[in-house]
Amino acid sequence: MSAAANPSVSIQDLTLSFGTVSVLQSLNLDIAEGEFIVLLGPSGCGKSTLLNCIAGLLDISDGRIFIKGKNVTWEEPKDRGIGMVFQSYALYPQMSVEKNLSFGLKVAGTPKEEIDKRIARAAEILQIEPLLQRKPAALSGGQRQRVAIGRALVRDVDVFLFDEPLSNLDAKLRSELRVEIKRLHQRLANTMIYVTHDQIEAMTLADRIAVMRGGVIQQLDAPQAIYNRPVNRFVAGFIGSPG
């Protein structure tokens, strides 16, 4: 799948520095509606920085970001139509799972029947119905991460952003939740941008992978194309291509 004429997310000439340290320089990326894009690269290459710029959590130095055709470059994170899932679950420890899911909706003034409907749907999709009255401390890592995904799901966002959501899980849970996220994407069919340094996650989840190094996208293509035809030795080495 390649980016369409009306991309879901369009990043144009994005430049970001921390003080005098330049992390992203004039980066461009168009993501099609419904596409699953993985940002893949070694630690420190700028994946989280790019994701945080899209989320509106960092002020960019230059460039523009469009979501669903709207220039959101200076919009608040809550007004961008995005939901973010982090490596650490960032759940409210004192609240039940149900309250964790409903809190943001209540703050936004969503009517109670609508909140209940959305929680029921999210709980069914993520198979967390039996956990709704529990506190986060009583959940496993995998269950917590499902709840974290649920918080984005109930907000009915256009674009899901994931930052290494499986990194804190053991290998078995990681592969289980990977399948779960893939299923979620197939069911919801919305745009997902997923950061990881794990090649297997990238190869199994992505419609297209953006391989990053030093703040630069080295190659942007379907997993098989990158594997079979890496553009340089860095990409070949990182992906583990035979040649």
145 touches, from ligand ADP, Mg ion, none (C-beta below 5 to 8 Å by class)? none
The CB-of-47 to Mg ion minimum distance in angstroms stands at: 5
The answer to whether the beta carbons of residues 22 and 177 sit under 8 Å apart is no
- Which residues of this protein are in contact with ligand ADP, per CB under 6 A? 18, 21, 23, 41, 43-49
The CB-of-47 to ligand ADP minimum distance in angstroms stands at: 3
Quick one: residue 164, left, alpha or beta (phi over 0 = left, psi -120 to 50 = alpha)? left
49 touches, from ligand ADP, Mg ion, none (C-beta below 5 to 8 Å by class)? ligand ADP
Cα angle 106, 78, 35 (rounded to 5 degrees) comes to 115
Part of the chain binding Mg ion (CB under 5 A), chosen from 33-41, 44-52, 108-116, 182-190: 44-52
Give the residue with the Cβ less far from ligand ADP, 216 or 222: 216
Q: List the one residue from 8, 48, 102, 190 that touches Mg ion (CB under 5 A).
A: 48
The alpha-helical segments, DSSP class H, found in 130-229 are 141-154, 171-188, 199-205, 223-228
Give the residue with the Cβ less far from ligand ADP, 17 or 232: 17
| Dihedral over alpha carbons 122, 155, 144, 133 (to 10 degrees) | -60
Phi first, then psi, for residue 28 (nearest 5°) are -120, 135
Footprint of Mg ion on this chain (CB under 5 A)?
48
